[in-house]
Every structure is written in structure tokens, then in C-alpha cells.
Amino acid sequence: MNSLTSMYIDGGDFMHPILLVFILGLIFSFERLYTLRKSKINTKSFVEKVTRTINEKGIDEAKILCEKTPGSVSSVFHAGLQRYDEGLDSVEKAIMTYGGIETGFLEKGLIWISLFIALAPMLGFTGTVQGMIEAFEAIKEANQISPAIVAGGIAKALITTLFGLVVAMILQVFYNFFVAKIDGIISDMEESSVQLIDSLYTHKQKTVNR
């Protein structure tokens, strides 16, 4: 810990914005982690419950079930069921529209994490350039090329690049994890929406034949 603190101090002024970028990146990452965890449900089980509720208790009870169930799939289902009286075409349009809105909600904040991933190494490289300039100025003032001056100056200059790259790698892992999770949720929404439309069509046919 002491060596890490000393490296942070030796890195100079550019270590502060790199640390700020890291903290902000983690804040956005934990917020997305919490949101995506709430949005993920057992889709197969939920679709079966909704289908059974539609067949046994009707559309209104299925709406109530969707309202009580957290997650993106249940929100999309609820939006579609709200338009059931207007016809299946309206249901399909509502599902597509709300699916797009829900996708945007899931991806909210990812652009900032992506920005921090790009900023961290750039700040590190900028700090390194500044450190190299200071190292050459030290050599100039010493009026000799001393191995100790050169090695010490270069080592200090490279610290910001090291920290910037480490920050970017950590945030990149979070980013890729979120993208994979969001793709999975979107795939669930699309697949389950097709199943909902099929269930509503079957329910409508049964209602007409009564």
C-alpha cells in the first residue's frame, strides 16, 4: 500500500484526473450493475406464468402480474397488453416501441464508461510526456547524462501511463460484461415477445369461438 501511495505521489499532477476518471467509471459501473441485475428475470418461467394467466384469468390479471414483476421483459409485456383491445397489430407495435425505449434504458450510462476507458490512457500518456520533458530538463540543468537522473526521470514519467492503462483495463472488463448482459436481456425480450403474441392470438381465437 505504501509503495502504491508513493507511486501515486511520484506520478505528479496527472494522477489526480486519472483517479477521478477511475472513481466516476466505478460509480457508473456499479449503477449499471444494480440496474441490470434488477432487469434480469427468469424469462422462461415468467412467460409460462403470463400465458397461463391469460388463458385462465384473462388479460387484466396478466397486466397485474406484469406490474408486480420487475424487469425489462415484464415492462414490455405490460406495454403490449395495454393495447390488446386495439388489436394484435397495436400490441406488436407497442412491444416494438417500448422494447426500443427499454433498450435505451439498459444502455444508459455505457457511453460514459466508454469515455472513461478512452480518457484514462490518454491522461496517462499526457502525464508521461510531461514527465519526460521534466526529465530532460533535469538532465539539462545537471549538464550531464547521468544514468540515475535518466532512469529516475523516465520511471517517474511512465507511472501515469501505467495507472491510466490499469484503469482502462478494469473499466473495459465492466463494459464488456454489461454489453453481454444487455445483449442477453434484449434477446430474451425479442424471443418472449414472439411467444406473447402467439399466446394472445390463441387466446383471441378461443374467445371468438365461444
Residue 2: pLDDT over 80: no
Q: Is there a domain that residue 134 lies in?
A: yes
Q: Is there a domain that residue 33 lies in?
A: yes
Quick one: how far is CA 178 from the chain centroid? 4
Q: Identify the weakest region by mean pLDDT among 89-98, 114-123, 127-136.
A: 127-136
Mean pLDDT (the chain, rounded): 84
pTM: 0.81
Q: Is there a domain that residue 12 lies in?
A: yes
Helices 15-39, 2-10: crossing angle, 10 deg rounding: 120
- Position 83 scores a pLDDT of 87
Q: 162 is in which domain, residue-wise?
A: 2-205
Q: Is there a domain that residue 118 lies in?
A: yes
Q: Which three cell numbers stand for residue 208?
A: 371468438
Q: How many domains does the chain have?
A: 1
C-alpha span between 43 and 121 (Å, rounded): 39
Q: Is there a domain that residue 210 lies in?
A: no
Q: Is there a domain that residue 63 lies in?
A: yes
